[in-house]
């Protein structure tokens, strides 16, 4: 019962703060461009390019203007999942990015790979992380530009550094599909 009262008080306090100040604390407002592109168009464009030797293995059956994904595979057995989300506004995309990254930063066992995505920081915000466990590398990169959120998730038994380079290449292809 006490927990419910505390949660209700926190929720009411946050709502009151948002009404008075326009946004919750910690949310970064952006004035980025709003893109009028479908997520299905972005994912299809990348899949057709075969970046870093990856080719389409499967994709969402019905493309959507707001969310789409595709699974790409490479000859060496590496697998990549590309996800694109198109939000109603840049602030919505930024808020999603902020919530996601804040839950990931500092996870035990993961390395911060954000520097591998530094070339894309000029367009928006990016965060990369990954781990190499028992010869299986997993890397993830997330970026946001305007109202568009992009994610690349890769798994492979190739070297961690090679997979990091693939993440950079695939994110570049996703970014190239936005404009």
Angle between helices 160-178 and 39-49 (to 10 degrees): 130
The residue ranking higher by pLDDT, 86 or 6, is: 86
pLDDT over threshold 50, residue 37: yes
Q: Which residues contact 62 (CB under 8 A, 6 or more apart)?
A: none
In this prediction the pTM is 0.75
Ramachandran assignment for 50, one of left (phi > 0), alpha (psi -120 to 50 degrees), beta (any other): left
E strand spans, 28-162: 55-59, 67-73, 79-86, 111-112, 125-133, 136-145, 148-156
pLDDT over threshold 60, residue 83: yes
**Model pLDDT, residue 62:** 59
Mean pLDDT score, 23-37: 48
Residue 26 three-state SS: coil
């Amino acid at each position: 019962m006490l927990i419910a009262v505390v949660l209700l008080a926190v929720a009411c306090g946050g709502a009151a703060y948002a009404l008075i100040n326009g946004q919750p604390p910690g949310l970064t407002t952006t004035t980025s461009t709003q893109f009028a592109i479908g997520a299905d168009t972005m994912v299809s464009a990348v899949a057709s390019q075969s970046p870093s030797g990856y080719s389409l293995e499967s994709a969402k059956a019905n493309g959507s203007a707001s969310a789409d994904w595709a699974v790409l595979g490479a000859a060496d057995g590496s697998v990549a999942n590309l996800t694109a989300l198109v939000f109603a506004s840049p602030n919505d995309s930024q808020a999603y990015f902020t919530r996601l990254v804040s839950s990931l930063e500092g996870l035990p066992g993961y390395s911060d790979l954000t520097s591998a995505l530094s070339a894309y920081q000029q367009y928006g915000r990016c965060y990369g992380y990954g781990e190499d466990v028992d010869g299986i590398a997993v890397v993830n990169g997330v970026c946001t530009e305007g109202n568009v959120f992009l994610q690349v998730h890769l798994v492979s038994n190739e070297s961690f550094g090679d997979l990091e380079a693939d993440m950079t290449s695939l994110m570049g292809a996703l970014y190239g599909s936005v404009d």
